[in-house]
Structure 1
């Protein structure tokens, strides 16, 4: 293994495919299947939201487990293990319709996905270590392009599948995304084998300056709580508005395509600022995208919303990874990114179930999108207060 692989962009592509599986598929494809599962299994919005809360609870456990294991196990091994097991969890989710089975595999997909996702940033940070601009681009591509590809693929396929075969075909949706994940495994595992990131115990442990990082931490928590509402309930809201399967697919493809190109937009911002400004700007964009479908009438609103939301939503992980890289020594990057992931994961558990309850009480899931936008705006304001650590 080497710190400077001969094909760094190919290595990055493999890491990004890992994010496609652990984020684009394991976390967000459920939002596309939710209307069918809710209808076929006679769920309330709260029950439908519960499955993504279950996934988020698993993500908390996985993030904490990763923080413990990172002291003894190399990030490369954690990334590879998480990628393989997440793929397996996706494949078996559709085998049984019972809520307990769905909950079990949503939890395990969260556990395993967190292990792979939270180490992917640490691995990508090893690329182009002597070139800050390329390093920032690599981090942005990892989170933006990886997740965007997953949403484009699932968004293009799943609504059309359900439209043609009926809502009863939702189990085949899980098989489809699990099978696609299998195709991505070889390059993802090869990329992990090309990189060396030290165990935390190989370097002197340096405590994280958490109090001085408070603005970034709270802003990232608001991101976890707010963004997931849109991705969980967007298809359900569009279905309530009598949108056709083709229109829903189009919206998700636009959303994923914008996620895919978002690193180009945010690369110079991430490279230029060591403060909380990039995270604040990104959260403001996510908030606007979340609110637009509800506050702006007409079919153009979901399209504009998908563009704005997509250009921003996968960039907070890149923002906090870049923040850690610019403000902390290399031996602290893994611990810092892991801690950010835990904070994010805990906050993420609140969003889906709470949004489902609000939707049930209001009789309109659109109200939940507005509440989520308010949470995101608050997080943006707090992140804006974060200064570079060397200026504190």
Structure 2
């Protein structure tokens, strides 16, 4: 049974590598390659990025609005169609089609994230391994790191067009294992006994503050998430090796989710979220005040060490606040996150075209994330005080073998 559990978790990790690490975030390191060959402006690049986030927004809304709990696994498998949209990015030179493809990719990636999160987090809760959620969400960082390793070679051999297609081929191979291993069936649950699980979280009314903070995170983090490699590529520090910056993001992101999960267990989710967002805001602003190779690497490491950690903390906390309908709660959080992501790249692209640099965009994004961290502070009081009404949610979870 343990082997089945590990393969189940690996299947979930692979689904995030496909849909998020590659399908969603590969655009960031490939963008400077496309801009170099095609002379794409920052504004055009921002619109293409925003198309992806618009699709992600629609996908997240539908994922939380449609009651599909009995069909989560099948819908997840269908959503891996994002592999095709990745491949097609390398088969066209049309801005319109790029926008359409990135929209569809975003739509599919939202479904994969929401569905896989619900499936995997529910499973981990039944075996009392919620701290393993950090391993699951580490799949995004692993996907970023692996794609960053492959992109320079693929670009050297096949140019940017072949890079998209090559990443799609890798995704297709991983999808086979997702189909086999990520199967939500009753026999994966390991305990027959009925148990009471007590989870200390803020009152359910406080969920609105988590939603607001997560939306601000989406608005702020995505500026770095979209443009940092493109900006680094245009400096004299990297000599056509700016993919290194994105590799640092992925490298830091791989262990970050597990580390933040461990810290949350020790300090509480909200304290951990506040710290992660504060550190991220520092990393976002750093290139605006200190332009050097070192600053880009530190910024990338801080960004990678926090952006998926924040997602891990927010979605796990949201699930524990509403365990009976985890996919809907995660979908709501993903939708507000997507609204921020939709606005961020467009604003940053237009602002950079007007000011001829990204300094204002970085500073503004850092302030937005920091404000989100500040908005969470009230929750620390609730999380630390077990006597506040509704601060402890008790629910019974039936374990069926």
- Residue among 274, 278, 290 paired with 2:284: 290
CA 1:305/1:119 → structure 2, altered by over 3 Å: closer, same or farther?
Answer: same
Report the alpha carbon displacement of residue 53 of structure 1 after superposing the two structures with TM: 0.4
Report the alpha carbon displacement of residue 259 of structure 1 after superposing the two structures with TM: 0.5
Are 1:325 and 2:319 an aligned pair? yes
Which SS does the other structure have where 1:64 is aligned? helix
Report the alpha carbon displacement of residue 91 of structure 1 after superposing the two structures with TM: 1.3
Q: Alignment length, in residue pairs? A: 371
Alignment partners' CA distance in 1, 2:118 and 2:92: 36
The RMSD of aligned alpha carbons is 2.4
Report the alpha carbon displacement of residue 130 of structure 1 after superposing the two structures with TM: 4.9
Matched with 2:110 is 114
Are 1:335 and 2:331 an aligned pair? no
Which SS does the other structure have where 1:339 is aligned? helix
Report the alpha carbon displacement of residue 161 of structure 1 after superposing the two structures with TM: 4.2
Matched with 2:197 is none
Alignment partners' CA distance in 2, 1:275 and 1:146: 21
Report the alpha carbon displacement of residue 291 of structure 1 after superposing the two structures with TM: 1.6
CA 1:356/1:126 → structure 2, altered by over 3 Å: closer, same or farther?
Answer: same
Which SS does the other structure have where 1:314 is aligned? helix
Matched with 2:168 is 178
Alignment partners' CA distance in 1, 2:185 and 2:127: 17
Matched with 1:96 is 92
- Residue among 36, 48, 52 paired with 1:55: 52
CA 1:246/1:254 → structure 2, altered by over 3 Å: closer, same or farther?
Answer: farther
**Equivalent runs, 1:199-214 vs 2, <5 Å:** 211-214=205-208
Runs of at least 5 residues in structure 1 that lack an aligned partner in the other structure: 198-208
Which SS does the other structure have where 1:127 is aligned? helix
Are 1:80 and 2:116 an aligned pair? no
**Does the CA contact (< 8 Å) of 1:61 and 1:111 recur in 2?**
yes
- Tell which structure's C-alpha radius of gyration is larger: 2
**Does the CA contact (< 8 Å) of 1:51 and 1:103 recur in 2?**
yes
Report the alpha carbon displacement of residue 350 of structure 1 after superposing the two structures with TM: 0.4
**Equivalent runs, 1:22-41 vs 2, <5 Å:** 22-41=19-38
Alignment partners' CA distance in 1, 2:65 and 2:112: 14
TM-score in terms of structure 2 length = 0.86
Report the alpha carbon displacement of residue 184 of structure 1 after superposing the two structures with TM: 0.6
Bigger shift: 183-192 or 371-380?
A: 183-192
Alignment partners' CA distance in 2, 1:210 and 1:44: 45
Alignment partners' CA distance in 1, 2:335 and 2:374: 21
Which SS does the other structure have where 1:128 is aligned? helix
Which SS does the other structure have where 2:122 is aligned? coil
Residue deviations 1:120-139 (CA, integer Å, cap 9, x gap): 1111112332554x312x21
Matched with 1:347 is 340
Are 1:365 and 2:358 an aligned pair? yes
Are 1:385 and 2:385 an aligned pair? no
Residue deviations 1:115-157 (CA, integer Å, cap 9, x gap): 111111111112332554x312x211111x2111111122122
Residue deviations 1:231-251 (CA, integer Å, cap 9, x gap): 211111112212435642322
Report the alpha carbon displacement of residue 65 of structure 1 after superposing the two structures with TM: 1.6
